[in-house]
Structure 1
Amino acid sequence: MTERISSLLLASVIGALAGICINLLAARLPPLLHRHWRKEAQELFGIAMEDHEPPASTHFGPIRLRSVLVCALCAILSMIGIHHVGPNLPGVAFVLLSWTLLTLSLIDWDHLLLPDIIVYPLLWAGLIINQYGLFATSADALWGAVVGYGVMWLMSKFALMLTDTEGVGGGDLKLVAALGAWAGLETLAYIIMLASVLGGLAHVFRLSFNTSHSIRGAVIPFGPFLAIAGWVCVMYNA
């Protein structure tokens, strides 16, 4: 019992420290990527591109309040991971997954962006760890990634035919593939359904209370809901 309490306390402390890094990464990575993309566009087209660098502001209130909330949430997620999975390799992997999904959720909520520099390593990590069957079999992980991307791609094209908008961004497709690699093919349907329900409820809530502060007008980022659904399903598999 004492060892378990000690491991939970240690996880909370490390999680809180990780929350500081997550806050910095979520605030500074999008502007860095924007400058990199603008430089590439200037080199490709040979013209000066107007600078519209995304602000580092947040949508969770004052920056200090958000920092405290993210650190607390990161500590809680770390304790949940160690408590549910255990102080072992799968537990550490699940905690790292939790931190990564939290980072992606913050960036997507602020900037409607799921950076490849984070999503691709998450995808490969899921495929690699499930070679050892931590959360799914290697075959389930591979087909979870393939089918996850394919299903979301078909959904985006179907939405494009009906509404003239794809509805699902390219980052969302890659994130579903990454979550499929972690949770496996059998859990993939639950991830998509749960994320869709959560996203739909958020949209209804926003319309009901006229919370028009969402970035870019009526657009609500889908990444945070995918992250929540994927986190729940991977924990269930653990």
Structure 2
Amino acid sequence: MLELPLWGWVVAAGVLGLLVGSFLNVVILRLPERLMAQWRLDAFDTLAMEPDGQALPPGIVREPSHCPQCKHPLAVRDNIPLFGWLLLGGRCRYCKASISIQYPLVELLSGLASAVIVWKFGPNWAAVAGLVFTWMLIALSGIDFRTQYLPDQLNYPLLWLGLLLSLLPVFVSPNSAIVGAAIGYLSLWSVYWLFKLLTGKEGMGYGDFKLLAALGAWMGPTAVLPVILLSSFIGAIVGGSLIALRKHGRDIPMPFGPFIAAAGWVWFVAGEWMLQQYMQLTGLR
């Protein structure tokens, strides 16, 4: 590792997070479109029908960034994380169409969260793993927020990476990772079926089970209950606020994945401190 003070590593992580956040925007926007296009082609193949001839959406890596309205390729200066959007005033340089605030928000979130990870763990391999963990959670949250879908293409790598890291171990032992993954999956799976039996409705999707399983693999079984409680608390506050402000209807489904991801990241970074505070308040030792 280079000889830098901790604050230097934190700043470097923040800058790296901004750059990665720009790529995460591409993943959030393009991965669901690519998956749906592939599902359409698979359906035609299964039914032995000729494809409908629709062109595939842009790829995640090769195709350059462009305006979603006029399709004009973006200049390098327009792609500068966070500042590009600010300099453009939130509008395309060419067609003046509005550019979603998602772009700077995701970049800023990625930058800040990346800086916190390095501040928490220091310049070591645990921080590298933590950065990957953070970026994948942001991508999953963004996709679920937009589409109410948590793709296996991200959930499963996050799960398997947590299990593989336990072999070193980086955060938890192999036993804790395996048990955590199982408990994480089965806990929400049980809630799903209980809710469906009682109401006849589906309260969440299978992607939520897999995401909590991945968090269990990274942090062990003791993190599962706090993450569930935290995600429910965050979801209640956000959902209640949106309903009160009439930004979201009561009967419109709300994705739960972003709340699970947010709670999981908070516990990953501050779980030990939060547990100590709770024990002090309750007098437990």
Which residue of 2 is the match for residue 27 of structure 1?
29
Percent identity between matched residues is: 34
Q: What TM-score do the two structures reach when normalised by structure 2?
A: 0.75
**Matching of residue 200 in structure 1 with residue 236 in structure 2:** yes
The residue type paired with residue 27 of structure 1 is: L
Q: Is the 8 A contact 2:227 2:264 kept in 1?
A: yes
Contact 1:156/1:166 (CA < 8 Å) preserved in 2?
yes
Q: Is the 8 A contact 2:243 2:249 kept in 1?
A: no
Number of matched pairs: 231
1:131 is matched with 167
One-letter code aligned to 1:18: V
Q: Please say if 1:157 is aligned against 2:189.
A: no
Gaps of 5+ in 2: 58-67, 70-89, 91-97, 273-285
Give me the whole-angstrom Cα distance separating, in 1, the residues matched to 2:11 and 2:193. 47
Matched, 1:235 2:237: no
Q: Larger % of helix: which?
A: 1
Unaligned runs of 5+ in 1: none
For 2:116, which of 80, 84, 93 is the aligned residue? 80
Q: 1:174 to 1:49 in 2, by over 3 A?
A: farther
Structure number with greater CO (CA < 8 Å, separation at least 6) is 1
CA distance in 1, matches of 2:112, 2:131: 10
CA–CA distance in structure 1, aligned partners of residues 233 and 51 of structure 2 = 40
Aligned partner (choices 215, 225, 235) of residue 179 of structure 1: 215
Distance between the aligned counterparts of 1:48 and 1:189, measured in 2? 49
Q: Distance in 2 between matches of 1:64 and 1:153?
A: 35
Is residue 226 from structure 1 mapped to residue 260 from structure 2 by the alignment?
Answer: yes
Taking the TM superposition and a 5 Å limit, the aligned residue runs for 1:46-57 are: 46-47=48-49
Q: CA RMSD in A?
A: 2.5
Is the contact made by 1:105 and 1:224 (CA closer than 8 Å) also made in structure 2?
Answer: yes
In the alignment, the residues of structure 2 paired with residue 202 and residue 188 of structure 1 have an alpha-carbon distance, to the nearest angstrom, of 21
Q: How does 1:82-97 map to 2 (within 5 A)?
A: 82-97=118-133
What TM-score, normalized to structure 1? 0.89
Look at both structures and tell me which one has the larger radius of gyration over its CA atoms. 2
Using the alignment, how far apart are the partners of 1:219 and 1:111 within structure 2? 11
Alpha-carbon contact 2:189-2:209 (below 8 Å) kept: yes
